[in-house]
Amino acid sequence: MRNLPNLLTLCRFLLIPLYILVFEAGYVRTAFLVLLVAGLTDVLDGYIARSRNLVTPLGSMLDPLADKSMMITVLLSLVCSGMISVQAAIAMFVREAGMIIGSAIFHFRGKQTVPANAMGKLTTVLYYVAIMLLIFELPLAELYLWLVIAVSFLTSIIYIFQFYKLNNKPEYERK
């Protein structure tokens, strides 16, 4: 945890209870700003880690966990407030929880995990746009959310294929 990218990831974990407090106090749009700050720390920690060669195994595991934890928190707040349907929440939760559990299982079994790719990053941006549309109660927000859910499942399938390909290479090709 002693490098800046890992500290930014830790900050993202700390923003989760802040988001909950602000959202529950009725400041939904301000809570969205907390979410945007979390997104900014995600972009910054990734950029700094890669550009300064500060990528660590701990950071590689905690970064997606922080992202998924924040997204599940936001998801629960939106469903509890009635801003999204239970069906959309279940679909999103299944995908996010599956990604967390799958990554943890593979990590602790010594398998290599697939780093974030362009599709994963695009999916995250699309989710942020969907949340913004929902929070600002814009037309067709839930339809857009369902499109993003479909994209997120497609992205998960791509990750599964990449994981399988990565972990079925001969050992000398994996590094």
pLDDT digits (tens, 9 = 90+) for 25-77: 999 999 999 999 999 999 999 899 989 999 888 887 788 889 888 988 998 99
pLDDT score, position 155: 92
CA distance 25 to 16: 14
Contact 95, 149 (CB under 8 A): yes
Stated pTM of the model: 0.81
CA distances from 143 to 14, 44, 61, 130, 149 (A): 31, 31, 32, 9, 10
Q: Any idea which of 89-93, 102-106, 147-151 has the lowest mean pLDDT?
A: 102-106
3-state secondary structure 84-127: CCHHHHHHHHHHHHHHHHHHHHHHHCCCCCCCCCHHHHHHHHHH
Contacts 24+ apart (CB under 8 A), 47-52: 48/4, 48/5, 48/8, 49/3, 49/5
Would the pLDDT of 175 be above 70? no
pLDDT in tens, 119-131: 888 998 999 999 9
Q: Which residue has the higher pLDDT, 103 or 31?
A: 31
Mean pLDDT value of segment 126-145:
94
Q: Quick one: DSSP state of residue 167?
A: H
